[in-house]
Amino acid sequence: MRQPLPADMFDELCPSSLNPIRFGDKWAALVIRCLEHGPRRFSELRVPLRRVTPKVLTQSLRSLERDGLVRRTVRTPHVEYELTPVGRSMLEPMAVACAWAERHWDELLDARESYDNANRLDRAR
């Protein structure tokens, strides 16, 4: 059987809010990655995405569903979310974006820090 999603799945990596490359809304990319290896239930998704309120997670899922990237199926007594072929095809550009982010993450943070420091000094003067 498929493994449950680890609760700390996104603790380290993917500070997607800081990444200039974004897929859909704030959590969409993480949701897609959660569905990479097969369908998941709402409550399963909530484990790694435990910092997302149910309302916001629902919004994200609805948006993905609207774009045809995710399919929502009522499989009584549960509801399952799974990637459509189009949704799955998004993994490729996501992987490229992730590779870019990993390669340039430090430069990016350094640039931001320098910029902010320079700016702070400017205002102090």
Residues that bind DNA (CB under 7 A): 25-27, 41-44, 51-56, 58-61, 72, 78-79
CA-nearest of 36, 76, 80, 85 to 61 is: 80
Furthest C-alpha separation in the chain: 65
Which residues are near a second copy by CB under 8 A?
A: 20-24, 28, 65-69, 86, 89-90, 92-93, 96-97, 99-100, 103-104, 107-108, 110-112, 115-116
- Enter the tokens of residue 42: 């709402």
Alpha-carbon torsion, ordered 17, 42, 91, 111, to 10 deg: 10
The nearer residue to DNA, 52 or 103, going by C-beta atoms, is: 52
Q: How far is the CB of 30 from DNA (least distance, A)?
A: 11
The nearer residue to DNA, 53 or 103, going by C-beta atoms, is: 53
> Could you give the 3-state DSSP secondary structure of residue 70?
strand
Q: How far is the CB of 99 from a second copy (least distance, A)?
A: 8
| Contact predicate 2/38, CB 8 Å | yes
The nearer residue to a second copy, 77 or 85, going by C-beta atoms, is: 85
